Amino acid sequence: MSKVVIGLFALAMFVVTPSVYADPAVITSGSASINNNARLSYNIAGQNFSIATNGNGETGNAPSATCSPCVSGMNVSAGGFFVDTSLGSGNATVNGVTYTNIGFSGTFSIGSQLSTLPLGTSDVTFIVPFQLVGNIIGCQPDHISCITQPFSMDVVGQGIATLRYRYDITVNGVALYTFQSMTFVFQDPAAAPEPLTISLLATGLVGVGVKLRSRRRRSEFKS
C-alpha cells in the first residue's frame, strides 16, 4: 500500500513540476528593442524555447534611452535593467508546450561598453557588442498576478546593438541630441566570435601590421 502511495505521489510531482532549465538557456537568435519610455520588446529563441512580447510591460531602467535632452560628453550604453512586470506578456513555446497570452516575470540585465556623445553637428549612431544575463518565469493568468508558473529558466545572450541619436542644436558649446532608437540583434555564440575574441583578433592583426612595417623599414635602411 505504501509503495502505491509513494508511486502516485511521485507521479503527481512529475505532472505539476514546471519546466526548469538546469543550465542557462542560450539565446541563439532573435531581436529586442528599448523605446524612449524604457519599455522593452523582445522576440528571442534558443534550443527548445521561443519567447515573444510586444513591449506591453512596465517601464524599466534604461538611462541612455530616457535622457532628455541627451548632451555631448554624456556616456551612453546599449542596455538597461528590467524586472518582474517590466518583462511584459506575450507568447512562448518551451519544451514543446505553447503558451498563448502568458505573462513573464524575472530579470533581464542588458549591458554594453560605454560610448560618448560627441560635440558634433550631425546625427550619431553607435554599433556595439552587448550581453544579456537574466531569468524568465512564465506567469498565469498574467505578469501582474502570476499565480502559477509553468516554466522558469535562466537565460544568457549576446550580439550587436545599435543606438541612434538625432542631433538637434548646439547651445553654449554643448550639442543637444534626442534619443531615437536602441535595437539588439542576438547572435549564436557558437557561430559568431565573442566580442572579446574579435577585439583580441583585431589587436593581433594590428600587431602583425606594425611588425611587417618595421621589418620593411629596416630592410630599406640596410639597402
Predicted pLDDT at 64: 97
On whether residue 10 sits in a domain, the answer given is: no
Residue recorded with cell 639597402? 223
On whether residue 153 sits in a domain, the answer given is: yes
On whether residue 168 sits in a domain, the answer given is: yes
Q: Tell me, what amino acid is at 181? A: S
Predicted pLDDT at 54: 80
Cell (9 digits) for 105: 516575470
Q: How many other β-carbons are positioned within 10 Å of the β-carbon of residue 160? A: 17
The domain of 133 spans 21-192
**Mean pLDDT for the stretch of residues 191-216:** 46
Predicted pLDDT at 193: 62
For the chain, what is the mean pLDDT?
83
Alpha helices in 39-185 (DSSP H): 63-66
pLDDT at 121 over 70: yes
Convert the pLDDT of each residue in 15-50 to its tens digit: 344 555 568 999 999 999 999 999 999 999 999 999
Predicted pLDDT at 19: 54
Convert the pLDDT of each residue in 64-102 to its tens digit: 999 999 999 999 999 999 999 999 999 999 999 999 999
pLDDT at 222 over 90: no
Residue 10 backbone phi and psi in degrees, to 5: -65, -40
On whether residue 135 sits in a domain, the answer given is: yes
Cell (9 digits) for 96: 514543446
Convert the pLDDT of each residue in 128-154 to its tens digit: 999 999 999 999 988 788 899 999 999
pLDDT at 7 over 60: no
On whether residue 99 sits in a domain, the answer given is: yes
Number of domain units in the chain: 1
Predicted pLDDT at 194: 53
Q: Are 106 and 82 in contact (CB under 8 A)?
A: no
On whether residue 36 sits in a domain, the answer given is: yes
On whether residue 61 sits in a domain, the answer given is: yes
User: Closest Cα partner for 139 from 154, 152, 123, 121?
Assistant: 152
Between CA 146 and CA 88 the distance in angstroms is: 12
Four-point Cα dihedral 57, 104, 29, 42, nearest 10: -10
pTM for the model? 0.77
